[in-house]
């Protein structure tokens, strides 16, 4: 299929599956500056793991989809998303995984669905993606994002699925998190933090904590202080990714102002603790519905 193309170069594919259902996959381009090698290409494919999502997080478009169309993706359907993106980008010509002109350098399980509710197939796909006889991706270049499925994080640690871990946190206390993420009623923050401690982190392999910035909901400077103190209390090597909310049709929230996002970031940086790092993930692909929290397919 032909992709939707954003003005910033982001591409989104809506892929129809054999049973007529569909998922969305996104390619997010970017550049990193290497002092020794000069400018090197960097780009991530955002992979879906399910058709729809049962979790119904209130700020996420995928969660608004009809529950009746939900199903897990097979390992082959997961891998096919990456193969589709590489084919459209002409990336098969670059056999060297670390070639400077390679378009797809990173994979993020941050598309539609909760990867840890499809653990068996996602684990199988990661195995193939990292095999020398497979697509030869480094585990350091694959990130799995979960809404906080505590048993799934424990399974990753047990089975040695040592890709990078990202956690959709979005609030610093149970009351607020439960009001926007139903999963917190099942796996509260204390259990989630304990699972992250058991999973393990270190300076070179931080756990990313995603935090969507919702105007007037979770973006006060007091929330920033609570967030920092929560992560430092558990002594996790943490990287906080602040994500300005990306609107979608019917969404009940507004995006925090840029000034508020910067002020929130400044509070986190003000702790000046080596355990805690933070940055803003500015939107890409928002104009084509490809930014974080915008993916959804028609019912």
Residue 109's nearest CA partner among 144, 84, 136 is 144
Q: What ranges make up the beta strands (E) of the chain? A: 4-5, 11-16, 22-34, 38-46, 50-51, 71-72, 106-109, 142-146, 164-168, 207-213, 238-244, 276-280
Tokens encoding 133: 């006889």
69 contact partners, CB below 8 Å, separation of at least 6: 21, 51, 52, 299
Catalytic (active site) residue 196:
no
Catalytic residue among 24, 77, 114, 210: 24
Tokens encoding 158: 């047990």
Catalytic (active site) residue 24:
yes
**DSSP-derived pairing of the beta strands 11-16 and 4-5:** antiparallel
Residue 166's nearest CA partner among 196, 187, 191 is 196
Q: How many CA atoms lie within 13 A of 157 on its CB side?
A: 14
CA dihedral for 120, 159, 177, 108, sign (positive or negative): negative
Asked if residue 62 lies in contact with residue 113, where contact means CB atoms within 8 angstroms, the answer is yes
Whose structure tokens read 């505590």?
150
Catalytic residue among 46, 57, 60, 292: 292
Residues in the chain: 299
Active site residues: 24, 292
């Amino acid at each position: 299929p032909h992709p939707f193309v954003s003005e910033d170069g982001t591409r989104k594919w809506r892929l129809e599956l054999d049973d007529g259902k569909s998922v969305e996959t996104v390619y997010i381009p970017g550049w990193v500056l290497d002092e020794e090698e000069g400018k090197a290409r960097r780009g991530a494919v955002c992979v879906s793991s399910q058709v729809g999502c049962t979790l119904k997080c209130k700020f996420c478009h995928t969660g608004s989809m009809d529950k009746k169309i939900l199903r897990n993706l097979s390992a082959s359907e997961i891998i096919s998303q990456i193969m589709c993106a590489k084919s459209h980008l002409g990336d098969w010509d670059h056999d060297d995984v670390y070639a400077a002109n390679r378009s797809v350098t990173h994979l993020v399980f941050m598309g539609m669905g909760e990867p840890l509710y499809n653990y068996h197939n996602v684990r199988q796909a990661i195995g193939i993606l990292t095999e020398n006889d497979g697509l030869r991706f480094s585990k350091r270049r694959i990130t799995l994002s979960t809404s906080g499925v505590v048993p799934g994080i424990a399974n990753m640690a047990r089975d040695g699925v040592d890709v990078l871990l990202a956690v959709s946190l979005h609030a610093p206390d149970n009351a607020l998190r439960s009001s926007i993420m139903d999963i917190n009623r099942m796996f509260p923050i204390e259990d989630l933090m304990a699972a992250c401690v058991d999973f393990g982190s270190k300076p070179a392999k931080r756990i990313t904590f995603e935090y969507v910035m919702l105007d007037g909901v979770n973006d006060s400077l007091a929330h920033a202080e609570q967030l920092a103190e929560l992560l430092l209390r558990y002594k996790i090597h943490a990287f906080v990714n602040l994500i300005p909310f990306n609107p979608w049709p019917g969404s009940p929230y507004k995006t925090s102002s840029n000034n508020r996002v910067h002020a929130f970031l400044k509070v986190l940086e003000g702790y000046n603790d080596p355990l805690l790092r933070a940055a803003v993930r500015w939107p890409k692909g928002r104009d084509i519905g490809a930014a974080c929290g915008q993916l959804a397919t028609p019912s």
